[in-house]
A and B are shown apart, each in its own frame.
Chain A
């Protein structure tokens, strides 16, 4: 079975985000970019399934700017076998909406015929939490989102999901879409020899037009603003002082 893991290149999670002064968006020029943390987890899971003999090939796909190559190389260094880059934008500030991403991924999947797709649960830039579900809809496949455990049993995946009340386990028919939550695994670091080896692994480059997908956004950004700031309050010296402050406020 082949597994596809779609990965997104975005602002590193340790970088403090700055809203551009003209309100057009977030400043992404000259900031550190990395793989979406949830996608590292997805790639790790795909590699583990391969190591466990449940899969024979792991293909990583990224849609975005040319520089997403670096992100794909990171995934190859972790242990993915092959990468596909679909260039759909030439400026990092031009983000591709999940619906368009899902349409491109569908085209890639139609050509590659994987048995399983593992995506991240959400991209930590736009926090949409949508692409995997949209892709499942377009393919007419089952979906198991927010996975904290994935097992392959014959023609099904048995997936434990993190839901509001706790955990839910479901069985989905393969092929299916799984989206990775935080506790699915702890992604490995790529070793230096593997980083070197990754440079020689195949990376195909395509464009959105190759797949005939129109990436025109459906949503128009009217403005981007700083959130209302919260200012620091006061320090209290003791538990008793804290209790009297809270009593004054009438909240305890």
Chain B
């Protein structure tokens, strides 16, 4: 049985962490061939992931911006040889794989958190308030895997790398621009520590105290939907059911009430710290350490205390 794994490409390079986590999930299903719709260097990097049997690289201008239509056509052109088509649950793969599945006339399984066997998978529904085990009766299984549920495969692979032809571009859509904020901070979904701010932070300027604590800890910065909707933080910081799912060693929630939609994105964190002035806030029900305090005092104090 063979698995085709769509590598995650970000900014023209392999997104190693997300891809290596998907490799761990895919390995249990069969021999893994990684498809890189991108530059040869990304293919080389993918071949070094432990457990990768082979890498195929389609380097073509059509794939430069990850547009769903041409990438889906490429995946479908290769699908004949594989029983499973897998990708990490990133915004990009979640845009592409359902399109692939429909073109193959099969269902897609989004956000798989465990592989039971070759056709049975576990996935969260209702913002993680229920876990469903589903069995696919389709001839091919198309799935995205939640990266927080799998450890990254290590290095040391030596899969063969083969260049393949592109599969054309129907030109249904066209890239205009990306607005990606450059940041020295670790990436939100793979960071060891995440400090998130909510509506309680009050303004974009005030978010600086959240960022100062994050930088002290070498952490990524997250936000609740309310903070993003209010313009305190950019959209790609949103953690939750409809934002990013994170599971760091330490998650510090500041001025966040703990709505189920937010918890859906962080409740698998190892240690959760909550700082909130309302002792009744539901976030305290999932926190390992709760501190009832005004964040404008507690957060700068915490940043300072950590300096010593």
Residues of chain A touching chain B, judged by Cβ–Cβ distance below 8 Å, are 11, 13, 16-17, 19, 26, 38, 97-99, 102, 121-122, 124-138, 140-146, 148, 158, 162-173, 176, 181-183, 217-227, 230, 232-236, 238-240, 242-243, 245-246, 249, 251-252
Contacts and interface: CB of A to CB of B under 8 A. Distances in A.
A170 B175 contact: yes
Given A167-B178, A170-B175, A98 B98 contact: yes
B99 A242 contact: no
Nearest to A250: B249
Interface string B89-127: 011101111111111011111110000100010001111
A13 B225 CA distance: 14
Nearest to B175: A170
Given A165-B178, A166-B178, A170-B174, A234 B289 contact: yes
Q: Is the interface of B mostly helix, strand, loop or mixed?
A: mixed
A219 B244 CA distance: 26
Given A26-B126, A146-B91, A235-B292, A166 B173 contact: no
Contact of A233 (B134, B138, B289): B289
B249 A125 contact: no
Interface residues of B, number: 92
B165 interface: no
A143 B173 contact: yes
A249 B269 CA distance: 14
A225 B298 CA distance: 38
A252 B178 contact: no
B306 A243 contact: yes
A243 B130 CA distance: 34
Contacts of B250: 246, 251-252
Nearest to A165: B180
Contacts of B133: 221-225
Contacts of B134: 219-222
Contact of B95 (A143, A230, A240): A143
Contact of A129 (B92, B94, B120): B94
B110 A233 contact: no
Contacts of A170: 65, 67, 173-176
A76 to B, nearest CB: 26
B137 A163 contact: no
Given A167-B179, A246-B250, A233 B287 contact: yes
Given A162-B236, A243-B305, A224 B131 contact: yes
Contacts of A251: 193, 249-250, 270-271
Contacts of B292: 235
Contact of B126 (A11, A171, A172): A11
A142 B173 contact: yes
B11 A137 contact: no
Which 5 A-B pairs have CB atoms at the shortest separation, nearest pair first? Answer: A142-B172, A233-B288, A134-B102, A133-B98, A137-B102
10 contacts: A17-B130, A124-B127, A125-B125, A142-B172, A162-B236, A163-B91, A182-B229, A221-B132, A226-B130, A242-B302
